[in-house]
Amino acid sequence: MMGQMASISNQAANPLTAAQPKDLSGALRSVLYIFDHEWHLSNGEAQTLLGCSRATYFRWKQTQTLGDVSKDTLERLSYVLGIYKALRILIPDINLANTWLQNPNSDPYFGGLTPLKTLMGGQVADLYRIRTYLDGWRG
């Protein structure tokens, strides 16, 4: 009974940890693979997109384990996977889909900059903007 009370108390104090799935390492592995092998991002770019420190990023790369993370990190993983999926749907050519982020975009939304430049603001909102742009493109 006392153990249950402590557990409930801990969940109330930190509802995010209580609500998040036990292991999101598969999502992390997918994102790290996309960054390294599909989008060919630098370590610094990947750290910016994930909103993490250099030490945390390299720990994730080494262990391939996410552990307890913030809601911010969960949102970032979700947006990255959503962007990747949307690009795969919209651009059937894998090479073109993988380079879309790095190519200058003439759409007024980007003002001739690359979508990756937009993402390098480092905010979750930047990921959201690209995700919703692609969702709008999908119709």
* Among 110, 112, 111, residue whose Cα is nearest residue 129: 110
Q: 98 to each of 3, 19, 57, how far by Cα in Å? A: 49, 33, 22
- Report how far Cα 11 is from the mean position of its chain's Cα atoms: 25
Is residue 87 within 8 Å of residue 134, measured between CB atoms?
A: yes
Q: Are 28 and 64 in contact (CB under 8 A)?
A: yes
Query: pTM above 0.85?
Result: no
- Please report the DSSP string for 45-69 in residue order: HHHHHHT--HHHHHHHHHH----S-
117 vs 108: CA distance, rounded Å: 14
Q: List the pLDDT tens digit at each of the 139 positions of the chain.
A: 434 333 333 333 443 444 445 567 889 999 999 999 999 999 999 999 999 999 999 999 999 888 788 899 999 999 999 999 999 999 999 999 999 999 999 999 899 999 999 999 999 999 999 999 999 988 7
